[in-house]
Chains A and B, each alone.
Chain A
Amino acid sequence: MSLAAETTARSAEGFRVSRSRRNVAWTGAGALIVVVVLALFPYIVYSGTTTIMVQAFIVLTLASMWNMMAGYAGLVSVGQQAFVGLGAYFVLFLALHGTSPFAGLPVAAIGCGVAAVPLWWLVSRLRSGYFAIATWVLATTVMLFIEKFPSLGSGTGMSLPGLSSYGPTLLLAYTYWIGLAVTVLSLGTVYLLLRGRLGLVLTAIRDDEVAARSSGARVGLARMIVFVVAAIGCGAAGGLLAISQLIVQPSAVFSVQWTAEMAFAVIIGGLGTIEGPILGTIVYIVLQQTLASYNAWYLIVLGLVAILVALFARRGLWGLADKHLNVRLFPVGYWLRITGSAGRSGAMKGE
């Protein structure tokens, strides 16, 4: 019996299973309004704000991918910069061969997904901490390999061609809209994946891997799908980075700082919640803009806050909000309500 049919059958027995404690139709409407307002930003705000927003889109896309890996699939990768860099370089490569960077971006994202399959095969042999460093080594290896191509600028990198026909204002607006599209697609994909069958399998693995395996859950496949989807998302963010910076340098796009930023945004916002990366990205951008004139300080502060949150508030700021206010904008779990004669009125949470 499919899950939907099962829940329908159950609800006839005096139980009611719902996604949320409250009606979430307003969440969808609210999200739509937010996206429409954000889409109008280039017409109403200064270009400085738009530039910061593009940066926020990059961090949010990366964070939502990292959250899916670490928060739901238990894969702590410290090497996501491999795909940020590959995405940027795919866009550069296509642009050098005459494809517009805007058209090249989706191709680059898919390319990163394809590249992720053999890379997954390499690192999937290792667990938890060793997996983390292995992805890091892999990212460095990919960078050293890319630096071997003089046509891509070797170790110094090169500027991105193909965008000089746009005026600066129009280019920024296009970049912003592409960034918004990438972010909305990323968040939507992660939400739908985790809400569906994959989310169930991942939850089962998190609770008890052996039991999940023996119940027929394809643990390896589920983790691979997460890794590949995260590579596509990070690749898209990398392509966006190349377009917004107009230059691709290996040490910049393959910097471990990308992973630090996405991880800190997720930890502070709330690991294992859909809303966490959004909140974390806002905190990140605010901190970064506030401390911008103090060089490395924003990463020091961000790192210290992330350590404290990881130690003392494991589900981050959103977890605190959820606990005290009972809000969930993007519910991926189920709520069981017992109604009528079946028992006392109450609710059980299952995620």
Chain B
Amino acid sequence: MDWVNDVIQGILTGGLYALFACGLSLMFGVMKVVNLAHGDLAVIAGYVALGVIAVTHIPVLLSFLVVVPIMAVLGYVLQRTVIQTALDRSVLTTLLVTFGLSVVIENALLQFINANSHSLGTGNAIITSSFSLGSQIQIAYLLLLLFGVAVVVLLGLQYFLSKSKYGRMIRAVADDQEAAQLSGIDYRHVFGIAAAIAFGTVALAGIGYGMYSQFSPTTGTDTILLFAFAAVVIGGLGSLWGTLVGGVVLGVAQEIGSQISQSDALLAGYVVFLAVLVLRPQGLTTRRAQS
């Protein structure tokens, strides 16, 4: 029964990892930007949520109503200024600039706040309690909720991209920037919107991680970015639902690894990532290599 429990816990954690990953995947799919500051932005969202809750006393589960718009605006502004300027230079420049942002954000958080760990909603019954399934399996309401949020976000993204006017524009720009521009689409604005959406999912991921575990200034790079990336590669580059598959596989691998020892959880996740890279570099869900 132990391993059944591991698999169930892993699948549910995979929802959170998919939330980490889908923003990274979206920004690469549309703008060809690999945002190395992705994880640090999730940590910023966590700190913003802490601040919002401390000031307004809104329930932690509703904090996303404030944090997601803040991060979305930040995403639009950052894309229209720094990232777009870098994109106009070269792909290499966007990498250098987002790496610079990552280091600056992490050290600024260390300098202006502190290195302590924080978590969100520790006193909240829904977040900390769980229910039993049989005698062996305990399911946390929070993980179930986060998995549900991930599915809703992915469904929403898919619907938005395939059906809405802006979704069509985003796909057009991602397909052929020049042709889209000739048809009268302002690609910079479309890039900004895509970044706003990506940052919105990052905000959800940051709040989710804050409730699930603890975050500190270094969590963004040593955990969130690497997990998000592993999920993207395992699931298949450029595939939206692949991020959920990748997240689930990563989560299950970590849970099984944690049976050996706590430190083996991370190693097991990365070993699966490397195995996918060797055996199936195109990922589990896509047919041909897209990178």
Contact = CB atoms under 8 A, between A and B. Distances in A.
B72 interface: no
Interface stretch (B45-53, B101-109, B153-161, B172-180): B101-109
A127 B291 contact: yes
Given A126-B277, A310-B97, 13 more contacts: A78-B99, A125-B291, A129-B36, A130-B34, A130-B291, A132-B34, A256-B222, A264-B100, A264-B103, A295-B110, A295-B111, A310-B100, A311-B93
Contacts of B86: 310-311
Contact of A76 (B96, B101, B267, B271): B96
Contacts of A295: 110-111
Given A128-B34, A155-B263, A300 B226 contact: no
B93 A128 contact: no
B187 interface: no
Interface stretch (A10-18, A141-149, A213-221, A334-342): A141-149
B291 A144 contact: no
Contacts of A285: none
Contacts of B36: 78, 129, 132-133
A284 to B, nearest CB: 13
Given A141-B271, A310-B96, A311-B86, A256 B291 contact: no
Contacts of A123: 277
B: contact size bracket? 35 or more
A130 to B, nearest CB: 6
B86 to A, nearest CB: 6
Contacts of A263: 96, 99
B87 to A, nearest CB: 11
A307 B97 contact: yes
A153 interface: no
A-B complex: 5 closest residue pairs judged by Cβ atoms: A129-B34, A303-B104, A296-B107, A307-B100, A141-B270
23 contacts: A78-B36, A78-B99, A123-B277, A125-B291, A126-B233, A128-B95, A133-B36, A136-B221, A136-B225, A136-B226, A137-B270, A138-B274, A140-B266, A141-B267, A256-B221, A263-B99, A264-B103, A300-B107, A300-B111, A303-B101, A310-B93, A311-B86, A314-B89
Contacts of A129: 28, 32-34, 36, 91, 94-95
A296 B107 CA distance: 6
A299 interface: yes
Contacts of A147: 263
B281 interface: yes
B266 A130 contact: no
Contacts of B225: 133, 136
B111 A297 contact: yes
Given A144-B267, A303-B100, A310-B100, A130 B237 contact: yes
Give the most central of B28, B91, B100, B233: most A CB within 10 Å.
Answer: B100
Contact of A299 (B92, B107, B222, B267): B107
A267 interface: yes
A91 B270 CA distance: 26
A75 to B, nearest CB: 10
Contacts of B100: 264, 267, 303-304, 306-307, 310
Contact of A128 (B91, B108, B281): B91
B213 interface: no
A263 B271 CA distance: 27
Interface string B171-212: 000000000000000000000000000000000000000000
Given A136-B226, A137-B226, A306 B96 contact: yes
B229 interface: yes
A311 B274 contact: no
B229 A137 contact: yes
A264 B86 CA distance: 16
B270 A267 contact: no
Contacts of B237: 130
A329 interface: no
Interface in A304-327: 304, 306-307, 310-311, 314
Interface string A249-282: 0000000110010011001000100000000000
B277 to A, nearest CB: 6
Given A296-B107, A296-B111, A306-B100, A133 B277 contact: no
Interface string A63-102: 0000000100010101000000000000000000000000
Interface in A210-245: none
A140 B99 contact: no
B39 to A, nearest CB: 10
Nearest to A298: B107
B267 A128 contact: no
Contacts of B277: 122-123, 125-126, 134
B278 interface: yes
Contacts of B263: 144, 147-148, 155
